[in-house]
Amino acid sequence: MIRLENVTKSYSADVVAVRDASFDVAKGEFVFLVGPSGSGKSTLLRMLNRQDRPERGAVWVAGRNIVDMPPGRVPHLRRNIGNIFQDYKLLLEKSVFENVAFAQEVIGRPPHVIKQQVPAVLELVGLAGKEDRLPSQLSGGEQQRVSVARAFVNRPLILLADEPTGNLDPATGEGIMRLLDRINKTGTTVVMATHDQRIVNTMRKRVIQLDRGVIVRDQARGVYE
Amino acid sequence: MLARLRYTLRETFDSFRRNATLTLAAVITAAISLLGVGLTLLSQHAFDNLLARWEGGVEMIVFMNPTATSDQLQLVEDALTAQSQFIAESTYCDEQCSLTEADRIFAGEPGVRDLLNEENILTQYKTVPTDETDVETLRLVSDAFSELPGVYDVSFAEDQISLISQLQSFFGFRLLMLSVFLLLAAILLIWNTIRTAIFARRREIEVMKLVGATDWFIRIPFMLEGLLHGVIGGALASVGLWAWNTQWTNGVQSFPDNSGFSALVVVDGYDKTVMLIMFVIGALAGAIGSGIAASRFLDV
Ligand SMILES: Nc1ncnc2c1ncn2[C@@H]1O[C@H](COP(=O)(O)OP(=O)(O)OP(=O)(O)O)[C@@H](O)[C@H]1O
Ligand SMILES: [Mg+2]
C-alpha cells in the first residue's frame, strides 16, 4: 500500500528532516511512527499525501510513485487518504454534521449520499445526537472524533494521523485509539505519529522509530522504546 | 452537478456578505470606470453624428437644389469629372441617401427632421480630393461648380469640422485615459477583495485540499465572485449611462436651433451596444482580477 525508497527531504542545507528512509507498509497494517520532537515524523506523513515532496527517493502509494505525480492528479490521490491532526483542524463556524459533510461535498458527492453516510459515520464515532453542535460546544475528545469521522467518511484506503491524542487526557486518548483500531479492522491502513508511550505499549503494533530523520528501528508488535 | 452549483452559489454569496465593505468599493470603482468608458464611446459616436456628412475623407460637398433637373445634375457631374486631377472621387447622394443622413444630423432635433422629405431635401455630390490636392486648390476650382444651374451651395469640410474634430479627439482621448486608469484601479480592488476572501477562508481551503477537492472546485466560487463584481459594476454603469444619455438628449432639444450641436446625441440604439460593451469589459476585469488572485493565493 505504501512504500518508501531511499527518501530524503531537507528544508535547507543544514536541516535534513528525513534521511534515506525506506520501508513498506502492507494493506491493512497499523504503524506507529515514534521518535523525539523534530525527528521527522510529521515530515514523513506529509510526504505520503503530497503536502511535501522529497528531493530524492520514491514514495509509492496504492501502486503509484507520487513524487512526480502531476498536480492535477493529487486531489484524486488525496481522496484515498484520510488525515487526522493534533489540533483537529475543524471549521469552527460549521456544525458537527457540516464539518463531516464538507469532506463529501467538496469532492462532489450528491446530497442523498451525504444525508445517508454522515449520520452513519457520526454514529460510528459515538457522536450521534450531537450533529448540530459547533466545535466550540464539544470537548477535545469529541472534537477529535469529529475529525476522525471527517477523515473516514469517504472510506479512504489509508489514514494518516499526526499525534491525534496529543491534546487529550489518557482516557480520552484511549477512546480515540479504539476508534482508529476499529477503522483499521475494516481494512484501512493506518500510519500514526505519536509521543504517547502508553498507547504504543498497549497496542503492540508495528513501530518505526526515527532519530534526527533516520530510521533507527522498525519492529513488528513493538514497544515505544 | 446540481450539488456543485448550489455549493458554488452559496459560497459566493456568503463571501459577498462577509466582505461587504471591500465588495462595495470594488463594485463602485468598477461602475464608475465602466461609465467612463461608456461615456467616451457614446460621445465619440455623437461627435461622429455631427460629422456624418464628411465621413470617408470627403472635403467638399456640392449641394443641389431639390428642383434640379437630371440635365443639371449631368452638367455638375461632367464638371467634376473634368477636374479629375484634383478630384479623386465624387459620389452622388440622392434624396434617400440624404434623408438617411439627416436622421443622424438632426437626431437631437426630431422636429426639424420631420420637416424634411423627398421634395425638399438637398441632394449632394460628395467629393474626395486626390492625394496631392490641398483644399485651397480645391477652393479655387470650386467656382466652376458653384456657378452652374441647379447648384444650391458648395461647402468645405475645413470650415465646419476642424473645431468639432478637435473637441472630439481632445475629450475622447483624455476621458478614455481616465477610464482606463480607473478600470485598472477596479481590477486591483477586485483582486484585493478576492485575496482577502481567500485569506479569510484559508482553513477551509486547507481542509478542502486535504480531502481532495480539485483546485478548480476551490477556485470557481472566488472567480465567480470577482466576475459578479465586474458584472454588477457593468449593470450600475448601464443605469448611469441610460440616465445620462436621456437627460442629455432632452437637454439638447432645448438648445437654440442652429446651435450646431443638435446632432451631438445618440438615439439610434448605439447606447445598447455600449451597455453590452460595458458588461463585457466589466466581466473581463472581474475575471482578470479574481483569476490572478485565485491562482496566486490558493496556496495558503
Ligand atoms: N516548513 C519547515 N521549514 C523548515 N524546517 C522545517 C519545516 N517543517 C519542519 N522542519 C524541520 O524539520 C525537522 C523535522 O520536523 P518534523 O515536524 O517532521 O518533526 P516531528 O518529528 O514531527 O516533531 P514533533 O514531534 O515535535 O511534531 C525539524 O528539525 C524541523 O525544525
Ligand atoms: Mg510533528
Q: Which of these ranges, A108-122, B136-150, B268-282, has the smallest mean pLDDT?
A: B136-150
How many whole angstroms separate alpha carbon A211 and alpha carbon A17? Answer: 10
| Residues of chain B with C-beta less than 8 angstroms from the C-beta of A103 | 207, 211
Q: Which is the closest atom of ligand 1 to the Cα of A46? A: 18
Report the pLDDT value the prediction gives residue A86, as an integer from 0 to 100.
94
Amino acid (one-letter) located at B233: G
**Between the CA of residue B71 and those of A73, B63, B90, B124, B265, what are the distances in Å?**
82, 15, 17, 15, 38
Note the pLDDT tens digit of each residue in A14-69: 899 999 999 999 999 999 999 999 999 999 999 999 999 999 999 999 999 999 99
Residue contact A107–B204, C-beta within 8 A: no
Domains for chain A: give ranges and CATH numbers: 1-80+157-225 (3.40.50.300), 87-155 (no CATH)
Is A39 near chain B, with CB under 8 Å? no
Note the pLDDT tens digit of each residue in B11-42: 788 888 888 888 999 999 999 999 999 998 88
Task: Flag whether pLDDT at B252 surpasses 60.
Answer: yes
Is A78 near chain B, with CB under 8 Å? yes
Is A67 near chain B, with CB under 8 Å? no
Residue nearest (by alpha carbon) to ligand 1 atom 16:
A40
- In chain B, the residue whose alpha carbon lies closest to the alpha carbon of A147 is B207
Mean pLDDT value of segment B228-249: 93
Is A143 near chain B, with CB under 8 Å? no
Output the ligand 1 site: residues, CB below 6 A.
A 11, 15, 17, 35, 37-43
| Residues of chain A with C-beta less than 8 angstroms from the C-beta of B14 | none
Task: Flag whether pLDDT at B300 surpasses 60.
Answer: no
pLDDT band at residue B259 using 50, 70 and 90 as cut-offs: low
| Residues of chain A with C-beta less than 8 angstroms from the C-beta of B204 | 91, 102
| Residues of chain B with C-beta less than 8 angstroms from the C-beta of A78 | 209-212
Looking at residue A201, the DSSP 8-state letter turns out to be H
Q: Which of these ranges, A181-190, B49-58, B169-178, has the smallest mean pLDDT?
A: B49-58
Q: What residues flank ion ligand 2 with Cβ within 5 A? A: A 42
Task: Flag whether pLDDT at B253 surpasses 80.
Answer: no
Report the predicted TM-score, pTM, of the whole model to 2 decimal places.
0.78
Burial (Cβ within 10 Å: 0-12, 13-18, ≥19) of residue B17: exposed
Spans of all domains in chain B? 2-51+168-296, 52-161
Note the pLDDT tens digit of each residue in A143-175: 999 999 999 999 999 999 999 999 999 999 999
**Residues 189 to 218 of A: which have CB under 8 A from any B CB?**
none
How many whole angstroms separate alpha carbon A198 and alpha carbon B49? Answer: 89
Task: Flag whether pLDDT at B272 surpasses 80.
Answer: yes
Fold adopted by B52-161: Alpha-Beta Plaits (3.30.70)
HSE, CB side, 13 Å, CA atoms: give it for residue A53.
9
Report the pLDDT value the prediction gives residue B260, as an integer from 0 to 100.
65
Looking at residue A218, the DSSP 8-state letter turns out to be E
**Between the CA of residue B242 and those of A139, B66, B230, B247, what are the distances in Å?**
59, 38, 18, 9
Note the pLDDT tens digit of each residue in B180-196: 999 999 999 999 999 99
Report the pLDDT value the prediction gives residue A193, as an integer from 0 to 100.
97
How many whole angstroms separate alpha carbon B291 and alpha carbon B220? Answer: 9
Centroid of ligand 2 to alpha carbon of A42 (angstroms): 4
Task: Flag whether pLDDT at B224 surpasses 60.
Answer: yes
Strand order in the sheet with A56-61: A15-25, A2-12, A56-61, A64-65
Report the pLDDT value the prediction gives residue B176, as an integer from 0 to 100.
87
How many whole angstroms separate alpha carbon A89 and alpha carbon B122? Answer: 82
Is A103 near chain B, with CB under 8 Å? yes
Residue nearest (by alpha carbon) to ligand 1 atom 31:
A38
Report the pLDDT value the prediction gives residue B217, as an integer from 0 to 100.
87
Looking at residue A73, the DSSP 8-state letter turns out to be G
Note the pLDDT tens digit of each residue in B227-236: 999 999 999 9
Q: How far is A51 from chain B (nearest CA, A)?
A: 9
Centroid of ligand 1 to alpha carbon of A192 (angstroms): 16
Choose among B225, B193, B187: nearest CA to B297.
B193
Report the pLDDT value the prediction gives residue B71, as an integer from 0 to 100.
87
| Average pLDDT value for chain A | 95
Mean pLDDT value of segment A56-84: 94
User: What is the grid cell recorded at B189?
Assistant: 480592488
How many whole angstroms separate alpha carbon B50 and alpha carbon B109? Answer: 12
Give the ligand at the shortest distance from the Cα of A43: 1
| B258/A90: higher pLDDT | A90
Other Cβ atoms closer than 10 A to A63: 7
How many angstroms from the chain centroid is the CA of residue B280? 14
Report the pLDDT value the prediction gives residue A183, as an integer from 0 to 100.
96
| Residues of chain A with C-beta less than 8 angstroms from the C-beta of B215 | 71, 75
Is A154 near chain B, with CB under 8 Å? yes
Q: How far is B2 from chain A (nearest CA, A)?
A: 8
Report the pLDDT value the prediction gives residue B1, as an integer from 0 to 100.
67
